[in-house]
Structure 1
Amino acid sequence: MSKPDYPTERLELQALYQISQLIGSALDIKKTLAEVLGILHETLRMERATLVLQEEGGEQLSIAASYGLSKAEERRGIYRPNEGVIGRIFQSGYPFVVPDIHSEPLFLNRTGARANLPKGEISFIGVPVMLPEGPVGVLSVDRLFGPEISFEEDIRFLTVVAMLIAQFLRLHKAVSHRQQVLVEENLLLKKELRNRYNQHNIIGQCKRIQDVYNYIDKVAPSRATALILGESGTGKELVARAIHLASPRANKPFIKINCAALPENLLESELLGHEKGAFTGAAALKKGRFELADGGTIFLDEVGELPLALQAKLLRVLQEQMFERLGGIQTITVNVRVIAATNRSLEACVEQGSFRADLYYRLNVVPVILPPLRERREDIPLLLDHFLKESNRMNQREVHLSSSVLQLLCGYNWPGNVRELQNLIERLVIMADRESIVSRELPSYITAVTETEESAAPFCRIEGAGVGYQALTGGVAEEKGTHKFLKDMEKEEVVAALRRHGWVQARAARELGLTQRQMGYRIKKYDIVLPEFS
């Protein structure tokens, strides 16, 4: 017989290369193993390739993957570790060849896949799948033999394939174990996060905040859309996350997007995703935030900034839980709970025509208004204590606030709310030259408190974190002249910081402990005119 054009050795190398490439990039173990067995058939004409693995507990072996067997035949392929040819190979750890399956009493044909095959033409070869701790399974194939192929060649080749499969199983086991550890760590961290504070990780004891806690407890178990209203920095995202963590969706994704942070031409792609080639630069398919949040919660911050065209599409997602990616025709169905937030008056936006009335009513199912910090002054000491602890821990410091500083901070109006307070405390801890922070280290717009205001404000006590001083919790006097004086001082401080940093808003904001949005708010509030070159 003439020598074939493609020698067996070359075909075996080709098959091994394909198998190694497949295993090296595999994620789905069952699918990958089936494809590996398919390569044995396509490249080397090996029939009914089967991988039998030991089940958890070790009491029996069952078919984990096959090629050429039906699902029903796979389900019948169950063996005891000492049963038949498969059991002998597994227990001994050595290959086994059945030259004629019809004349071997140990060959059980448990699957029934070979019942109607002609006698004397089918041989069976099986090799163990070994790990350092012992055998974990058996790889077997049927073979139609010709004079140019020997049992030894096939056993050698299948042993190499079994080694590759064993390494793949070992890697998959390690990855699965690591994933399980990460899942357990994630659950523990979420539990710790939920238990860190008694009330949804939100710090505060005043009546207004107690109402927020009650709102979260009532809204969280439902599927209703929630609308959180409040000034910038009042903790709208914190409340949204608390609703998610207290809901049945707590173990599913919490996806957030700031609708004001992205240009209009990118916002739709971020929310709904896009298909490859949908627009210039769309080099690959991208899932949107709604798709990523499937089963969980999506938080739409600054929802009042959504353009009108996108509002209509958002309304459809809210009502039908369906959408199409940008540039796509396939309708995608999701199960997503929507929580929206804004610091704007959506009612006023509806009247002005910049926000759809039907979307407003769809979002405004269970609204809650978060109070600004100036309306919950009794919580300021608790917040100061908390953020001082956090900043000391993160920066490895042991800084505390002097009594005069506590009085000034409790009397300040906090236009930037909790976020401004947090940023200021972090700045003070980082920049502190001594253990006690004194009033001269505060920004001038905070220290501009008159003696009349100091004497008129009531006192309270701050506990914990080495604070333990008396501090003012009363409001700043609302006398017209004093209020104007404070505004002038704050404006002067903002202008001075801008000048020091060449009118670069981001740098000036960092110096004052503000966010860029808060800086922009103050520039607009005080009608500060920026130079043309800025």
Structure 2
Amino acid sequence: MAELMTTEQTDHDAPNQEALLLSEAASLLSRSLDPDTNIPAVLRLLSQLVGLNRGRVVLPDDSDDCCLRIRYAYGLRPEERARGTYRLGEGITGRVMQSAGPCIVQDVDSDADYLFRAVDRPTLPDETVCFIAVPIMLDGTAMGVLGCHRLRNRPRPFEADIHLLRILAAMIGQTLRIQALIRQHTAWLEDRNQSLRSALQRHGGQHGVLGESPMLREALDEAIQIAGSDATVMLLGESGTGKEKFARLIHTHSGRHEKPFICINCAAIPAQLLEAELFGHERGAFTGAVRGRAGKVEMAQGGTLFLDEIGDLGLELQAKLLRLLQERTVQRVGGDRDIPVDIRVITATHQDLQVAVNEGRFRLDLFYRLNVIPLRLPALRERTGDVVLLARHFLDRFNHQHTRNLNIGAGVLNRLQSYPWPGNIRQLENVLERAVLTARGHAISAEEIEHILHEESLIAERGKPAPPDEALSPAPLPGPTASAAMAGRPYQRVSETDVDRVMAALRQCRGNKTEAARLLGMSPRQLYYRLDKLGLRTPNQGNWSD
């Protein structure tokens, strides 16, 4: 191959050519992290701008560190690149890699160590051809070799070529290092995702019952064991333990898996609408019923009906549900005909229904009908080790969802495992999403998680806010006697001991009294009343916002 640059072209105004080369090389390497594209482009510039031709980057073979191969090149044919293999210490390239020092061959025809391994002599110009090689260094160790040809009969000194090649070798080395880190991180993410997928398949499959703790495994085994029958199942457990996922799991492993799975939350629908939602209605049954409509029970025909929060069902609807379970028929609202249904019923509740029965809020006969197979789901704090698995799962999901690339910092997983999680998996999910959205660095720090968990604890401690019709009466502040005070009287007397708590809430909310009132579990008007009584609404606090 003929030399691409003549001596006059490359040696004229050499400093400007070198500056242009380095500027263009830096631009190429910064625009793309793909070495297959940007390294050959830099070698092309090396040939076209300063006459250092047939540039090649030689790196250790992936399967044998003692074997070196031409990985990137410009001006070499594919077969020449394929021939360019060297053992460590073999030829000029192998010697530079072994010694980590540069080498200049003044005449390739007269140096016995120059092997003509990649490029045959007839391919080179008839003039005296030199070969220059410099190590690509990283952390004091040679990780590869950058080599090229040049014509000896040029006024440009070899020291200038060595200096230029060393700069380019350093730039290429950093590109290769970044690419290696990306590959390493990608492989780590793929391994972790595969572990999560495997755990998901082992413990709940596509419905996301994720975990490996003994208590969860026991619940999963029992759920799969009972799935094959048509017996009514009652899922027991705290809110946020994944009752709907377990219900779907039971349906999937049952003989009804090809039929519908219909879910309805009895606590989420107003009582006056729930009957029509469950049992459907006929045309004209009530205002707005312009046509008949099947309810959830009929929609579940042949499949599974999941009634979540069954403890919130009113007594009248309990009687109709009991009739459904006994007779396997349903009557639409406003109708008088019995519609036969073939369904399996799964219910769920976080309440103690036996207490509800004793208090007259739940029918005993219905309780027995529903409680054929009770299945208790463990709380997250009882599932040893699952917090870590779930946290990583949620981190991956929210990284993808919110276009982030965060890791988990030191100490975060230990803190997450030590938290009691009153809101269970749903609360952990919310905490991880909030952490992904608010993290300031490349990793979620222990301090950021601590701040989020502290706010979660305050929310749990303060309980439900005072009802709107009690806004004129100051609500009790959170504390050991708060619930007793609320039970005994509608308000608690203002005390000087309240100052610290009120001021702490205001500081946490940066002076926003509406937010501080919410944090303290009271209305803004109640907080203003307390501030007046404690003498805290003074002019120097005029920067507090509403």
Give the alignment's TM-score, normalised by structure 1.
0.49
Instruction: Name which one, 1 or 2, has greater alpha-carbon Rg.
Output: 2
Give the alignment's TM-score, normalised by structure 2.
0.48
